[in-house]
């Protein structure tokens, strides 16, 4: 139907002379985006963005698919990632602990060693002062000569000091003295024990700290050696000490940490190797464990697939008593039950078919005799007295009815038993229509109806069962003539896309709301009170619907009270192609609603005014809008394109056609309620947006958005 | 009207009431009916009565109708009209393939039955001398013979009629409905399966390769036409 076919309505911009600007237009655009865009599959997004996303996603798709489909891969990958995390965490903690343990002991030992050393240095300086005190005091006035001697003494003293301090721990530590600041004169050049490069082994930052106070400070360093010996990590502890002249110098103890470093890297290496093994092993274990679970599940899936494909004897292999075995047992039990049930159903179906066939034969043979006898009597009725003659007539008439009822019942039960077979071959529906129309011509003449055929200029070929299609169309045309009240009946053919359609339109009493689906019910009658003047069995449309379904097609009805009805048969062009739309809209172009007629059949004059000046109605924001001419879009939506919105409910060929219950339909509203793609102002200024309407109206409108 | 000498009808039906009723109707129309109720005796009765047409019920005690049909067809081209209670495609096609020319589904009206019988008997009335060619076949209409390179091909009267109808207008494509009307004598289109089955049977006799027909060519979506001479 067309109320929800917003996309198919071409409302040209030319039909709207004025267009509101600014906020209204923008908000309307946004609203349209959200309200109109989303139900149509969100196709409103920027095309560039979508293209980009697609381009990015494409190479990842196979991987993503594998990830989604392979539970084993997922579990193993998750296990690997998580165990890697755990191992890394553990490794850091352990290494930290080991490092602390190793270094703490070393640092403590070094500190006590250094403290001792500093004390010795001070003591030696004091000794030197007291030892050379007399000579020193005597020669204080000697000037440069004495000075030179003193510095000579200090150089010697320093060398001795370094020697004696470092002699305590050959290889365990080295001793370095440095002058404070740039004061390198007076024999106070840097010196160190055991080939240590004194200047580059002590970091500058440590020297600053040493010079800024008199306490001992420490720092990590690299001990650099002269003579090609490799440098090694170490701990430096330094302090400012005074020489025998009372001038300060820097004394450093350098403790190599090579041993500790070696132990630490050994621990690190061990941990890393162990961690790697653990991760790999955990992954392998996860893989094995998941495999144990997944393999039976996959087997079950494969067997389930084969089962659903119809191989009912497939069973799972069950070993052991674990959960998998239980799954297998349950699965097999299910398969067994399924097989039994299907077998039963097949048997039933076969029995039903057999029964129908037997009944058919057993009933038909005597009926043939009765039929022939009745006809012979009927032929001879002129020789009878009036009562007998009339009886003969009644007998013959009712036998006709009985026959067609029996035929229809057998046909329906054949459908019910699933015994109906389609014999599709390419047929030209125009031929079928021609035959049907010429067959219905006598009845049409009696009723004073003229049957018109439109759309038969070009071949309308589809793979179909000519016998069934003809039966469907005969039914539709005869129904249309019978309920058409002598008005024209129009048979319309069309082909588009993968579908062909035949619509039979009458202008008779039409259908009441809800009847559009019920007409297909078995033994349903439009008006129970009406005399059964026509000889229909009440099964015709049910059979027609089954015929349409057998083709994979649709049979749908539309109607409005007093406005006639339209029955549309849509068939796929080739037998195995699914239908997506119909070339003919279910609601005809000349329905009352589309023509803008109310039930009285008068054109509603005030209508256009309401629709064209919506602002006064709604009191909406913004300036007064120039009146818009109402669009009449339905007239331009020809039958040339398949109507994608005309899909029926799943599996049901019939379709409910909502109509205004109040019977009042304002034609201008509908075009306005359906914003054309290039008319963004429509949604914002619709009268329905503010003014409350009757429920049908707003339902229709909201669907139209 | 046709000559009543050509009006012997053999009714093969086990339902006595129906057989009797058929007899009444057929006699009323000027035919000479004879009856047999058992499939096993049908062939003997056929040989004895030499009917112009056989009305054959499909469901029979003893030999069933299909078998009887096949046996009769094996020794005669006499028109066979099947009476069947089943209109399912399988049943109809099996019946037609066994050699029946036409079928009528129970329950039928007497007039319908008589029309079918007349249509089957009519063709033997008017043998106008005529020579037709279709493909590499030569058809002598009056002599009721079809020859390829002087070799005569045996066809049933119905198959012959079908071939003649196609050969008379080699330029025309015949829809199944038109063929039904011209060959079977249906005014209103009935069952196009009749045409399909008989075209296949005809092809199996006249075509060199029935898989690739050259005499009776299918026009997809429309019908059949005669192959080029």
Q: Which residue of A has its CA nearest to B15?
A: A365
Q: Which of residues 176-205 of B touch A (CB under 8 A)?
A: 177, 188-189, 191-193
Question: CB contact, 8 Å: A344 with chain B?
Answer: no
Interface mutation vs chain B, best among A350, A358, A364, A436, most B CBs within 10 Å? A364
Assess contact for B112 and B104: CB atoms under 8 A.
yes
Q: How confident is the model at residue A654 (pLDDT cuts 50, 70, 90)?
A: very low
Q: What pLDDT is stored for residue A528 in this prediction?
A: 58
Q: How far apart are CA A208 and CA A198, in angstroms?
A: 15
Interface touch B221/A426, C-beta < 8 Å: yes
Q: Could you tell me if A618 and A579 lie in one domain?
A: no
Q: What pLDDT is stored for residue A490 in this prediction?
A: 92
Q: Is the pLDDT of residue A326 over 80?
A: yes
Q: What pLDDT is stored for residue A469 in this prediction?
A: 92
Interface touch A364/B107, C-beta < 8 Å: yes
| Structural domain boundaries enclosing A492 | 424-527+537-589
Q: What pLDDT is stored for residue A672 in this prediction?
A: 37
The domain boundary residue, chosen from A234, A264, A294: A264
Question: CB contact, 8 Å: B28 with chain A?
Answer: yes
- Residue for token pair 């006249």: B206
Question: CB contact, 8 Å: B217 with chain A?
Answer: no
Q: How far is A546 from chain B (nearest CA, A)?
A: 16
Q: Could you tell me if A520 and A431 lie in one domain?
A: yes
Can you tell me the mean pLDDT for A404-428? 82
Q: Is the pLDDT of residue A306 over 50?
A: yes
Ranked by mean pLDDT, the top range of A204-213, A241-250, B26-35 is: B26-35
Q: Which are the contacts of A373, defined by CB distance < 8 A and separation ≥ 6? A: B21
Q: What pLDDT is stored for residue A547 in this prediction?
A: 92
Q: What pLDDT is stored for residue B85 in this prediction?
A: 79
By residue count, chain B amounts to: 229
Question: CB contact, 8 Å: B108 with chain A?
Answer: yes
Q: Could you tell me if B33 and B65 lie in one domain?
A: yes
Q: Which chain B residues are within 8 Å of A426, Cβ to Cβ? A: 220-221
> Cα–Cα distances in Å, from A637 out to A6, A589, A633?
11, 9, 7
- Least confident span in A83-87, A199-203, A264-268, A289-293: A199-203
Q: What pLDDT is stored for residue A273 in this prediction?
A: 92
Q: Could you tell me if B118 and B173 lie in one domain?
A: no
Q: Pick the closest to residue A113 from A230, A256, A249 (CA basis).
A: A256
Q: How far apart are CA A681 and CA A689, in angstroms?
A: 12
Q: Could you tell me if B102 and B151 lie in one domain?
A: no
Q: What pLDDT is stored for residue B35 in this prediction?
A: 92
Q: Could you tell me if A585 and A623 lie in one domain?
A: no
Q: What pLDDT is stored for residue A313 in this prediction?
A: 82
Q: Is the pLDDT of residue A186 over 60?
A: no
Q: pLDDT tens, A7-17?
A: 333 333 433 44
Q: Is the pLDDT of residue A509 over 90?
A: no
Question: CB contact, 8 Å: A366 with chain B?
Answer: yes
Interface touch B86/A423, C-beta < 8 Å: no
Q: What pLDDT is stored for residue A616 in this prediction?
A: 35
Q: How confident is the model at residue A453 (pLDDT cuts 50, 70, 90)?
A: very high
Q: Is the pLDDT of residue A233 over 50?
A: yes
ipTM of the complex in this document: 0.76
CATH of residue B203: 1.10.10.10
Domain count, chain B: 2
Interface touch A435/B110, C-beta < 8 Å: no
Q: Could you tell me if B162 and B89 lie in one domain?
A: no
A269 falls within a domain: no
For helices A323-379 and A386-416, angle between their N-to-C axes, nearest 10 degrees = 160
Question: CB contact, 8 Å: B22 with chain A?
Answer: yes
Q: Is the pLDDT of residue A155 over 80?
A: no
Q: Is the pLDDT of residue A423 over 90?
A: no
The domain boundary residue, chosen from A264, A284, A308: A264
Q: Could you tell me if B90 and B140 lie in one domain?
A: no
Q: Could you tell me if B137 and B117 lie in one domain?
A: no
Q: Could you tell me if A690 and A613 lie in one domain?
A: yes
- Least confident span in A152-166, A196-210, A581-595: A152-166
Q: How confident is the model at residue A503 (pLDDT cuts 50, 70, 90)?
A: very high
Assess contact for A231 and A222: CB atoms under 8 A.
yes
At A121, list the tokens.
């240095």
Q: What pLDDT is stored for residue A681 in this prediction?
A: 39
Q: What pLDDT is stored for residue A477 in this prediction?
A: 92
For helices A71-131 and A144-166, angle between their N-to-C axes, nearest 10 degrees = 140
Q: What pLDDT is stored for residue B10 in this prediction?
A: 93
Interface mutation vs chain B, best among A353, A369, A543, most B CBs within 10 Å? A369
Q: What pLDDT is stored for residue A258 in this prediction?
A: 81
Domain count, chain A: 3
Q: pLDDT tens, A668-685?
A: 333 333 333 343 333 333
A340 falls within a domain: no
Q: Which of residues 367-396 of A touch B (CB under 8 A)?
A: 367-373, 375-376
Q: How far apart are CA A71 and CA A86, in angstroms?
A: 22
Q: Could you tell me if A29 and A174 lie in one domain?
A: no
Q: Which are the contacts of B133, defined by CB distance < 8 A and separation ≥ 6? A: B139, B167, B229
Q: How far is A388 from chain B (nearest CA, A)?
A: 21
CATH of residue A468: 3.30.565.10
Q: How confident is the model at residue A618 (pLDDT cuts 50, 70, 90)?
A: very low
A131 falls within a domain: yes
For helices B89-97 and B65-75, angle between their N-to-C axes, nearest 10 degrees = 30
Q: Could you tell me if A667 and A571 lie in one domain?
A: no
Q: How far is B60 from chain A (nearest CA, A)?
A: 12
Q: Which chain B residues are within 8 Å of A467, Cβ to Cβ? A: 191-192
Q: Is the pLDDT of residue A533 over 80?
A: no
Q: Could you tell me if A234 and A157 lie in one domain?
A: yes
Q: How confident is the model at residue A205 (pLDDT cuts 50, 70, 90)?
A: confident
Interface touch A431/B191, C-beta < 8 Å: no
The domain boundary residue, chosen from A199, A232, A264: A264
Q: How far is B140 from chain A (nearest CA, A)?
A: 34
Question: CB contact, 8 Å: A441 with chain B?
Answer: no
Interface touch B220/A403, C-beta < 8 Å: no
Interface touch B108/A371, C-beta < 8 Å: yes
Q: Could you tell me if A552 and A612 lie in one domain?
A: no
Q: How confident is the model at residue A293 (pLDDT cuts 50, 70, 90)?
A: confident
Q: What pLDDT is stored for residue A36 in this prediction?
A: 43
Q: Could you tell me if B86 and B155 lie in one domain?
A: no
Q: Which chain A residues are within 8 Å of B15, Cβ to Cβ? A: 365-366, 369
The domain boundary residue, chosen from B70, B102, B122: B122
Q: How far apart are CA B33 and CA B48, in angstroms?
A: 13
Q: How far apart are CA A173 and CA A236, in angstroms?
A: 10
Q: Which chain B residues are within 8 Å of A371, Cβ to Cβ? A: 107-110
Q: pLDDT tens, A130-153?
A: 765 444 444 444 444 445 556 667
Q: How confident is the model at residue A505 (pLDDT cuts 50, 70, 90)?
A: very high
Interface touch B192/A466, C-beta < 8 Å: yes
Q: What pLDDT is stored for residue B55 in this prediction?
A: 92
Interface touch A366/B175, C-beta < 8 Å: no
Can you tell me the mean pLDDT for A108-115? 86
Q: Pick the closest to residue B148 from B159, B158, B139, B137 (CA basis).
A: B137
Q: Could you tell me if B142 and B170 lie in one domain?
A: yes
Question: CB contact, 8 Å: A405 with chain B?
Answer: no
Size of interface A-B (CB pairs under 8 A): 74
Q: Could you tell me if B103 and B156 lie in one domain?
A: no
The domain boundary residue, chosen from B122, B146, B174: B122
More confident residue, A464 or A155: A464
* Cα-to-chain-centroid distance, residue B166: 16
CATH of residue A172: 3.30.450
Q: Could you tell me if B47 and B118 lie in one domain?
A: yes
Q: Could you tell me if A23 and A132 lie in one domain?
A: no
> Cα–Cα distances in Å, from A255 out to A171, A665, A701?
9, 101, 89
Average model confidence (pLDDT) for chain A?
73
A67 falls within a domain: no
A306 falls within a domain: no
Q: Could you tell me if B162 and B101 lie in one domain?
A: no
Interface touch B85/A376, C-beta < 8 Å: no
Q: Could you tell me if A31 and A114 lie in one domain?
A: no
Question: CB contact, 8 Å: B219 with chain A?
Answer: no
- Residue for token pair 């082909």: A495
Q: What pLDDT is stored for residue A345 in this prediction?
A: 87
More confident residue, B201 or A352: B201
DSSP class of residue A39 equals: G
Q: What pLDDT is stored for residue A571 in this prediction?
A: 92
CATH of residue B24: 3.40.50.2300
Assess whether the previous peptide bond of B107 is cis (omega < 30° from 0). yes
Q: Could you tell me if B111 and B62 lie in one domain?
A: yes
Q: Pick the closest to residue A570 from A465, A656, A462, A676 (CA basis).
A: A462
Name the stretches of chain B with pLDDT < 70.
1-6, 87-89, 123-129, 187-190, 229
Interface touch A369/B108, C-beta < 8 Å: no
- Least confident span in A242-256, A399-413, A446-460, A626-640: A626-640
Interface touch A369/B18, C-beta < 8 Å: yes
Q: How far is A450 from chain B (nearest CA, A)?
A: 21
Q: Pick the closest to residue B160 from B130, B186, B116 (CA basis).
A: B130
A666 falls within a domain: yes
Q: Which of residues 253-272 of A touch B (CB under 8 A)?
A: none
Interface mutation vs chain A, best among B14, B20, B58, B110, most A CBs within 10 Å? B110
Q: Which of residues 110-129 of A touch B (CB under 8 A)?
A: none
Q: What pLDDT is stored for residue A349 in this prediction?
A: 79
Side by side, the strands of the sheet bearing B216-219 are B174-175, B223-226, B216-219
pTM of the model: 0.52
Q: What pLDDT is stored for residue A251 in this prediction?
A: 83
Q: Could you tell me if A451 and A513 lie in one domain?
A: yes
Rounded percentage of chain A residues whose pLDDT exceeds 90: 10
Rounded percentage of chain A residues whose pLDDT exceeds 70: 71
Q: What pLDDT is stored for residue A48 in this prediction?
A: 83
A16 falls within a domain: yes
Interface touch B28/A376, C-beta < 8 Å: yes
Q: How confident is the model at residue A1 (pLDDT cuts 50, 70, 90)?
A: very low
| Structural domain boundaries enclosing B108 | 4-122
Q: Pick the closest to residue A231 from A261, A191, A196 (CA basis).
A: A196
Q: What pLDDT is stored for residue A325 in this prediction?
A: 84
């Amino acid at each position: 139907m067309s109320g929800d076919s917003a996309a198919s309505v071409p409302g040209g911009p030319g039909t709207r002379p004025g267009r509101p600007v600014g906020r209204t237009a923008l908000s309307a655009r946004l609203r349209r985006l959200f309200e109109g865009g989303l139900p149509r599959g969100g196709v409103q997004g920027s095309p560039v963005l979508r293209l980009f996303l697609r381009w990015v996603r494409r190479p990842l798709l196979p991987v993503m698919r594998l990830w989604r489909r392979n539970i084993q891969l997922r579990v193993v990958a998750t296990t690997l990632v998580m165990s890697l995390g755990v191992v890394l965490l553990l490794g850091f903690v352990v290494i930290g602990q080991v490092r602390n343990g190793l270094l703490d002991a070393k640092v403590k030992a070094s500190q006590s060693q250094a403290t001792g050393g500093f004390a010795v240095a001070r003591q030696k300086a004091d000794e030197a002062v007291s030892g050379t005190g007399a000579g020193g005091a005597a020669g204080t006035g000697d000037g440069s000569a004495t000075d030179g001697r003193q510095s000579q003494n200090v150089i010697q003293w320093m060398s001795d000091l370094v020697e004696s301090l470092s002699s305590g721990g050959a290889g365990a530590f080295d001793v370095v003295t440095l002058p404070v600041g740039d004061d390198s004169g007076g024999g106070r050049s840097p010196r160190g024990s055991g080939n240590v490069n004194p200047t580059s082994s002590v970091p500058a930052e440590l020297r600053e700290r040493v010079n800024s106070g008199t306490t001992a400070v420490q720092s990590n360093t690299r001990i650099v050696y002269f003579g090609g010996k490799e440098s090694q990590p170490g701990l430096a502890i330094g302090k400012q000490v005074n020489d025998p002249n009372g001038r300060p110098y820097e004394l450093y103890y350098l403790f190599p940490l090579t041993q500790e470093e070696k132990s630490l890297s050994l621990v690190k290496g061990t941990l890393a190797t162990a961690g790697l093994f653990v991760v790999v092993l955990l992954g392998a274990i996860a893989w094995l464990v998941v495999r144990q679970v997944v393999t039976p599940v996959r087997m079950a899936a494969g067997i389930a697939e084969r089962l659903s494909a119809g191989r009912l004897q497939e069973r799972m292999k069950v070993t052991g008593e674990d959960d998998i075995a239980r799954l297998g047992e349950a699965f097999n039990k299910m398969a067994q039950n399924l097989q039994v049930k299907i077998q039963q159903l097949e048997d039933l179906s076969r029995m039903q078919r057999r029964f129908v066939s037997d009944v058919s034969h057993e009933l038909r043979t005597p009926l043939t005799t009765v039929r022939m006898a009745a006809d012979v009597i009927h032929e001879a009725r002129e020789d009878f007295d009036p009562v007998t003659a009339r009886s003969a007539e009644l007998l013959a008439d009712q036998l006709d009815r009985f026959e067609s009822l029996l035929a229809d019942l057998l046909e329906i039960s054949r459908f019910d038993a699933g015994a109906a077979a389609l014999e599709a071959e390419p047929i030209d529906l125009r031929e079928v229509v021609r035959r049907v129309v010429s067959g219905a011509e006598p009845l049409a003449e009696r009723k004073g109806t003229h049957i018109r055929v439109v759309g038969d200029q070009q071949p309308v070929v589809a793979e179909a069962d000519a016998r069934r299609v003809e039966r469907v169309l005969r039914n539709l045309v005869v129904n249309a003539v019978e309920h058409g009240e002598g008005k024209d009946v129009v048979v319309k053919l069309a082909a588009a896309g993968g579908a062909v359609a035949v619509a039979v339109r009458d202008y008779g009493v039409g259908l009441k709301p809800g009847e559009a689906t019920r007409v297909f019910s078995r033994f349903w009658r439009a008006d129970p009170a009406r005399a059964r003047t026509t000889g229909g069995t009440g099964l015709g449309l049910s059979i027609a619907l089954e015929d349409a379904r057998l083709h994979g097609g649709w049979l749908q009805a539309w109607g409005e009270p007093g406005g006639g009805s339209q029955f549309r048969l849509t068939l796929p062009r080739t037998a195995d192609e699914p239908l997506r739309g119909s070339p003919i809209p279910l609601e005809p172009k000349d329905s009352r609603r589309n023509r803008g007629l109310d039930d009285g059949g008068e054109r509603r004059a005030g209508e256009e005014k309401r629709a064209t000046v919506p602002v006064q109605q709604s009191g909406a924001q913004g300036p007064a809008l120039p009146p818009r001419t109402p669009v009449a879009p339905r007239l331009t939506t020809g039958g040339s394109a398949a109507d994608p919105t005309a899909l029926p409910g799943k599996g049901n060929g019939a379709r409910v056609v909502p109509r205004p219950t109040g019977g009042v339909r304002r034609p201008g509203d509908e075009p306005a309620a359906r914003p054309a793609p290039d008319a963004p102002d429509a949604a914002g200024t619709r009268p329905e947006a503010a003014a409350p309407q009757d429920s049908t109206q707003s339902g229709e409108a909201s669907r139209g958005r | 009207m046709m000559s009543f000498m050509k009006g012997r009808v053999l009714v093969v039906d086990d339902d006595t009431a129906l057989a009797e009723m058929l007899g009444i109707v057929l006699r009323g129309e000027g035919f000479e009916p004879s009856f047999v109720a058992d499939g096993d005796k049908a062939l003997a009765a056929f040989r004895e009565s030499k009917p112009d047409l056989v009305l054959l019920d499909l469901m029979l005690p003893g030999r069933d109708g299909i078998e009887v049909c096949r046996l009769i067809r094996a020794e005669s081209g006499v028109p066979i009209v099947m009476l069947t209670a089943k209109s399912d495609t399988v049943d109809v096609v099996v019946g037609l393939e066994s050699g029946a020319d036409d079928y009528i589904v129970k329950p039928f009206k007497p007039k319908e039955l008589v029309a079918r019988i007349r249509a089957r008997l009519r063709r033997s009335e008017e043998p106008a001398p005529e020579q037709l060619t279709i493909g590499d076949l030569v058809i002598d209409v009056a002599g009721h013979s079809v020859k390829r390179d002087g070799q005569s091909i045996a066809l049933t009267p119905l198959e012959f009629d079908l071939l003649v109808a196609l050969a008379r207008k080699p330029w025309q494509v015949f829809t199944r409905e038109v063929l039904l009307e011209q060959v079977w004598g249906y005014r209103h289109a009935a069952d196009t399966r009749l045409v399909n089955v008989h075209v296949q049977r005809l092809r199996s006799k006249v075509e060199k390769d029935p898989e690739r027909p050259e005499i009776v060519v299918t026009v997809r979506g429309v019908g059949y036409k005669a192959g080029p001479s």
